[in-house]
A = this chain, B = another copy of it.
Amino acid sequence: MKKRQNVRLKDIADALQTSVSTVSRALKNHKDISTEMKEKVHKKAKELNYFPNIFAQGFRKRRTHLIGVIVPNLTHYYTSTILEGVLEETENRGYHPIIMGSKDSYEKQIELLNMMLHLGVDGILLSLTRNTHNIDKIIQYIEEVPLVLFDKVSRKVPCTQIIIDEEEAAYKAVKHLIDLGRKRIAIFKETNDSFNSLKRYEGYLRALKTHQLPFDESLVLSSQYIPLDQGKILAEQILQNPIKPDAVFCITDNCAVGALQTFKKNKLKVPEDIAIVGFSNSMSSQIVEPQITTIDQPGTKVGKTAVTYLVDEIDNPKKGFMDYKTVELKTHLIVRASTKKEANF
């Protein structure tokens, strides 16, 4: 392993019989430098394959071009599509992402935020862990470094937030079921209302209300987390109801898959007896039988948008809280077999 011998400003300066400062300025097109000199420097820099030592730079300018990214979990498909967007856009903009996982632990999340600060990142992209109730600490960080929330957000945190149109998406999903003639539409959601779950529930309620369907509390089932297995449990549960639902809106694809399996096990036909809508357009929703109608989320776009806003804030530091925006990206409904029309209602 050779010792890396990077070329420095001084090397360019020597080759051109000029000074380091002139080279430095020329490379960033400072107005004090003549056009010819700039050309010579740029040419020589390319020739020598010059690349600035980012540590000297970061050291000097207090800019590292590093962006910290914290997510609760890496393995969810939606998260990884977001991260792909982040990777792409950070690269476009000359930044580098440092990704860390909070494992859905609030303490770990704080610890990671700390670490990022010490690392000297220029900004942070954060998707909150469940139960991030103590917002104060997070707010402290906003004082220290530009921060943009995405996916799992909280309106209580005064900063830019990139999300999808959760409420509208849920509304569309439930409206679709209503349009199909379904009357008793259940919802499977989270108990301790995360931002996402809450908004989707609101969309559900609005759809019922707008179409004059009665609200029935016995059709609202919740559990703390809603992975596949919980979908099964909730499905079993709702089948105990004296009057069964004719459709169910699951706020997660995994949950929907679980529900589907349970319904099938109980000899219920999907969608004839009961229709199902999920949320995420995960791989799972496409390979089960029948395929599940779901909401497609523009993951990479969320990632790219988050980077865009963060970098913008890094470049133009905000003065007050009033500058922050909540950006809602459009989703769309993908209709599949789990809600096909040919049901006879």
User: What residues of chain A have their CB less than 8 Å away from a CB belonging to chain B?
Assistant: 1-2, 4, 6, 51, 53-56, 58-59, 62, 64, 74-75, 77, 80-81, 83-84, 87-88, 91, 96-101, 115, 117-120, 142-146, 228, 257, 261, 264, 283-284, 287-289, 317-318
Give the nearest-CB partner of A117 in chain B. Answer: B4
* 8 residue pairs A–B, Cβ–Cβ below 8 Å: A1-B143, A4-B62, A54-B118, A54-B119, A55-B64, A97-B100, A257-B287, A288-B289
Question: For A1, A6, A146, which residue has the most chain B Cβ atoms within 10 angstroms?
Answer: A1
User: Could you tell me the distance in whole angstroms from the C-beta of A228 to the nearest C-beta in chain B?
Assistant: 7
**Taking the full assembly, how many copies of this chain does it contain?**
2
> A59 is contacted by which of B59, B99, B101, B257 (Cβ under 8 Å)?
B59
Give 4 nearest A-B pairs by CB, closest first.
Answer: A55-B59, A55-B58, A51-B118, A75-B80
User: Could you tell me the distance in whole angstroms from the C-beta of A307 to the nearest C-beta in chain B?
Assistant: 14
Contact between B75 and A87 (Cβ–Cβ < 8 Å)? no
Expressed in whole angstroms, the Cα–Cα distance for A110 and B318 within the complex equals 37
Chain B residues near A264: list those with CB within 8 A.
289
Contact between A97 and B96 (Cβ–Cβ < 8 Å)? no
Expressed in whole angstroms, the Cα–Cα distance for A117 and B282 within the complex equals 36
Chain B residues near A97: list those with CB within 8 A.
98-100
Give the nearest-CB partner of A59 in chain B. Answer: B55
Chain B residues near A6: list those with CB within 8 A.
118
Contact between B100 and A98 (Cβ–Cβ < 8 Å)? no
Expressed in whole angstroms, the Cα–Cα distance for A288 and B64 within the complex equals 47
Contact between B54 and A74 (Cβ–Cβ < 8 Å)? no
Chain B residues near A146: list those with CB within 8 A.
1
Chain B residues near A143: list those with CB within 8 A.
1-2
